[in-house]
């Protein structure tokens, strides 16, 4: 009986560690949403077991100020991540909401707009 309990405890610990890593791998690939008149493409290139996420964000067409996007590196904390771009904009509290990534876009003047990213339809 003791072996069974130890086995279950070991399995639970493995699931606790593997779950977040597997969930981060689900982020890999392209996600698309809208911001104003632009299609925003968020591409997650890598996500590791320590919560680091690397990718690119692109606007098509570019934003009114000419900003077309940039690479980013961020970290998942408490199930959320944020992207800060060099033009002063940021996407905050990006998290799973159903099949999408939801969060808030913040302009340089701190005006907030809800955003959602879904897998592009092929």
What digits encode the pLDDT tens for the residues 63-115?
989 999 999 999 999 999 999 999 999 999 999 999 999 999 999 999 999 99
What is the pTM assigned to this prediction? 0.77
- Given a cut of 90, is residue 7 above it in pLDDT? no
Model confidence band, residue 8 (pLDDT cutoffs 50, 70, 90): very low
Q: Residue 75 in contact with residue 61, Cβ under 8 Å?
A: no
Q: Which CATH number is 2-117's, of 2.40.128, 1.10.287, 3.30.420, 3.30.1600?
A: 2.40.128
Q: Where are the beta strands (DSSP E) in the chain?
A: 29-35, 38-47, 52-60, 69-75, 81-84, 90-97, 100-106, 112-117
Determine the pLDDT at residue 30.
Answer: 96
Q: Which two tokens stand for residue 66?
A: 């000419």
Sheet of 90-97: strand order equals: 81-84, 90-97, 100-106, 112-117
């Amino acid at each position: 009986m003791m072996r069974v309990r130890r086995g279950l405890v070991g399995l639970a610990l493995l699931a606790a560690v593997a779950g977040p890593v597997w969930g981060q791998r689900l982020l890999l690939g392209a996600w698309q949403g809208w911001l104003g008149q632009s299609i925003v493409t968020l591409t997650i290139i890598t996500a590791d077991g320590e919560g680091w996420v690397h990718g690119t964000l692109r606007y098509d067409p570019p934003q009114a100020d000419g900003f077309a996007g940039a690479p980013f590196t961020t970290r998942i904390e408490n199930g959320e991540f944020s992207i800060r771009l060099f033009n002063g904009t940021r996407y905050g509290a990006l998290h799973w909401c159903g099949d999408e990534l939801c969060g808030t876009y913040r302009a340089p003047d701190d005006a907030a707009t809800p955003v959602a990213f879904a897998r592009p339809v092929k």
